[in-house]
Structure 1
Amino acid sequence: MNGIVTGLGELARIADDAARLAHAIPQFTDRLALTVDDAYAVQALSLARRAARGERRVGMKMGLTSRAKMAQVGVDEMIWGRLTDAMQVEEGGTIRRSAYVHPRVEPELAFLLKAPLAGRVTAAQALAAVEAVAPALEIIDSRYRDFKFALPDVIADNSSSSGFVVGQWRRPDLDVGNLGLALLADGQPVQVGSTAAILGHPVRSLVAAARLVAQWGERLEAGWIVLAGGATAAHPLAPGMAVRADMQGLGSVSFQVGE
């Protein structure tokens, strides 16, 4: 057992260093028979390293919640990752392209919780725990060479989550089931879609989030932000790019890409 734990800890160090120093690494599954459970253990150990450096947990993200995303990365399972305060980018702020390896962006819906959620909950119970909703952008960045990976690889890499931007919070009773949206780069639409692409309704992603984190002894905490998952395929980021998402009834969210 100690040997297994030590091995996973070394993978966590490699993944953490790759994210922290923005350099590409070989896929773990090229040389290891890494299971999904192993991968989530690596993710947890990697995020523990961030916590030791002073980062604070502020939420979680859901991944692969739309057919577009599943097709883009060639997998068919939902995944999740952890969000920290260091990952949050100020709305309208600027990120450094050099801080990432293969950065891409996708439009999302964000939930702000006012009460904990854990285990199997209904959609009504999930919605009752929501304080507000907002348009959001997630910056994803696989640290693996050539943006290629198997499912355990991406999970170990915090499900590719690298940053997020949240727009203005709105009241939670708005119907977010089928909101039209557009992702724009330098003012030009590069992706269009609907929040319905997120499991048919984004609240289903919140329900799934409570169930998935419970499998690892966690719960969604009051005050946390939960990103429901990309509603479209992701778009590559380049220096100088202005990024904005417009979401029907919820407004816009944006950031800039520096060098």
Structure 2
Amino acid sequence: MILVISKYGMLDQRSQALVQTIRNTTPGNGITTLVDGSTAGDMDYVTSLYTDFPIAVVIVAITTYIVLLFLFRSLILPLKAILMNTLSILASYGALVVIFQNGFLHQLLGFTPLGFVEASGPILLFCSLFGLSMDYEVFLLSRIQESFWQTGDNTRAVALGLQRSGGIITSAAVIVIVVSSCFATADMILVKALGLGMALAVAIDATLVRGLLVPATMRLLGDLNWWLPFAGVQRRPPALAEYLDASGQESGAIHNKPEVES
């Protein structure tokens, strides 16, 4: 056994480069080089966590897209929903780096910055935030879809859907923010990071994303939001359209455009 001591810190990139250099060294004569220690163990831990993480993200994204495709009968809305969720998650990742890696507000939050983000934090945040953000997205899009089927007007549908769901989404977000913020008082850095990261992500998601970006993009895309190959723009639920075609008359709820309350 050969003892090698780096003059740099355990998590310093130069120490990690030293470990990688030793591992890539071939002594010859059938000798296998094994490296142990704090730096090597941390590198192996991160590698084990993130080797399959991209595959898991792709599986979640594809599954979500397929489910939303059947739910909203649109090619665009599922893709937009995934992109909007990604923005919220990336915002929380950025907050973790600024606060827990760079030490911003560390005195106020009562912790000593370590110069890095705990490796399991981003994965845990992704698992919780993606589902939570998608829940808000589905709720908002469902109300917009119902309004679009009633009015046939994308612009009015976006306004009505946001009006009908905005209060509930905001109230639910406030509850999550309050509960998550309580974890920011914990002594463990990981628990503090998860609580604060979730609170910030939900706050951004419920305000900038759901209240601004989602309605704005849907307004710009217009009827393209509801386009499906071989079906065109779906202005009514398929079952309702078949019923109306068979009965030869339309319900007044389809043509009467409800006024948007000020």
Q: TM-score, normalised by structure 2?
A: 0.27
Bigger helix fraction: 2
Which of structures 1 and 2 has the bigger CA Rg? 2
Bigger strand fraction: 1
Q: Which has the higher contact order (CA 8 A, sep 6+)?
A: 1
